[in-house]
């Protein structure tokens, strides 16, 4: 991987090899997101795996920055939605408007009709509005007044939220959280990375200088190529052992679903490509499991991402990994 302290000038990827797409995105993103190479890799792996990303952390650590940098790096359409209590489902999906000249209804697309959609502070939107995202995230289309409208390809939804702020928020229900392939925590930057931000090397100051390095067509092809990546049956059994252990853990009320097993494999494939390989290893699965499973587990003590990821660590320690 390119060192994030010495970014290489980005250029459009001339081919659709997924490794080249991953490298171009990594180089571009790390010019502004400093000191977080692993979070950047996991975000790219999620996108290449065809999944959606939820960035959950305290204010001011780069949640929106990473989201905007990802959108700027991908050619195509981008829309941002601010989560608020008065946001309506139609404000996301669109609405059918009656035209007197033609005496017919014409569908006006909402902000979901974009290649990359950022929903900032998603937990400030009401459950009714959050539910409007379920069909879009799972099936890549929306239904308005009984008519189905396909979303553009690729369609990547990135959402942010502050898990420690409760006033005026509506926690995501289990079905909504399960639609996100990965939940990512940014964490505070290291001292060197924060010093670079103070010196103007990275951060929001450079965001406006980012250019798209991957076209929407190239990303669509890369996602399809990652989906076709070969993985051994023994690796599938390893994933099934992990999800089975999550269902049997004494602190877990509701363990990982089959959708979680599929997401584990998809994001692990994406991470293999980000690492420059065209095959998946058990280490790829291990590295992505906390981000893929942590938010899906329902604990007996109530929802808590940090505790859930501790449970995931116990699960990974208890399951024997196949030889890599």
pLDDT digits (tens, 9 = 90+) for 259-318: 999 999 999 999 999 999 999 999 999 999 999 999 998 888 766 667 788 899 999 999
Name residues whose C-beta falls within 8 Å of residue 273's C-beta, 6 or more positions apart in sequence: 18, 19, 22, 45, 48, 222, 226, 229
Range(s) within the chain of domains with CATH label 3.40.50.300? 1-228
- The predicted pLDDT at position 268 comes to 98
Q: What span, in angstroms and rounded, lies between the C-alpha atoms of 62 and 188?
A: 9
CATH fit for domain 1-228, picks 3.30.1330.40, 3.40.50.300, 1.10.8.50, 3.40.640.10? 3.40.50.300
pLDDT of residue 274: 97
The pLDDT value recorded for residue 109 is 94
pLDDT at residue 8 greater than cutoff 60: no
Q: Where in the chain is the domain with CATH 1.10.8.80?
A: 229-324
pLDDT of residue 134: 93
Cβ(201)–Cβ(207) under 8 Å? no
Confidence grade of residue 4 (pLDDT, cut at 50, 70, 90): very low
The superfamily CATH assigns to domain 229-324 is Magnesium chelatase subunit I, C-Terminal domain (1.10.8.80)
Residue 69 pLDDT more than 70?
A: yes
β-pair partners for 143? 148
What per-residue confidence (pLDDT) applies to 238? 97
Q: What pLDDT does 320 receive?
A: 93
What's the burial of 250, exposed, middle or buried (CB within 10 Å: 0-12/13-18/19+)?
exposed
pLDDT tens-digit readout, 144-188: 888 999 999 999 999 999 877 767 789 888 888 899 999 998 888
Q: Whose structure tokens read 């990547």?
A: 156
């Amino acid at each position: 991987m390119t060192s994030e302290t010495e970014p290489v000038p980005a250029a459009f990827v001339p081919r659709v090899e997924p490794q080249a797409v991953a490298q171009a995105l990594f180089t571009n993103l790390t010019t502004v997101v400093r000191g977080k190479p692993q979070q950047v890799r996991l975000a790219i792996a999620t996108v290449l795996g065809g999944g959606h990303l939820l960035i959950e952390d305290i204010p001011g650590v780069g949640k929106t920055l990473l989201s905007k940098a990802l959108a700027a790096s991908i050619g195509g359409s981008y829309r941002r939605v601010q989560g608020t209590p008065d946001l309506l489902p139609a404000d996301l999906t669109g609405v059918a408007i009656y035209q007197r000249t033609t005496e017919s209804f014409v569908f006006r697309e909402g902000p979901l009709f974009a290649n990359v959609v950022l929903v900032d502070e998603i937990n400030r939107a009401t459950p009714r509005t959050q539910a409007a995202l379920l069909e879009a995230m799972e099936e890549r289309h929306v239904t308005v007044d009984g008519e189905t409208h396909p979303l553009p390809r690729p369609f990547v939804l990135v959402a942010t939220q502050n898990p420690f702020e409760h006033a005026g928020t509506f926690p995501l229900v289990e079905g909504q959280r399960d639609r996100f392939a990965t939940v990512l925590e940014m964490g505070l930057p290291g001292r060197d990375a924060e010093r670079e931000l103070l010196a103007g090397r990275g951060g929001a100051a450079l965001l406006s200088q980012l250019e798209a390095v991957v076209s929407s067509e190239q990303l669509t092809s890369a996602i399809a190529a990652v989906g076709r990546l070969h993985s051994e049956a023994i690796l599938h059994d390893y994933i099934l052992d992990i999800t089975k252990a999550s269902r049997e853990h004494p602190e877990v009320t509701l363990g990982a679903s089959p959708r979680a097993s599929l997401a584990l494999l998809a994001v692990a494939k994406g991470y293999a490509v980000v690492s420059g390989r065209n095959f998946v290893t058990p280490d790829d699965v291990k590295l992505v499991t906390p981000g893929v499973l942590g938010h899906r587990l329902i604990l007996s003590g109530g929802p808590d991402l940090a505790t859930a990821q501790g449970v995931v660590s116990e699960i990974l320690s208890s399951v024997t990994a196949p030889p890599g």
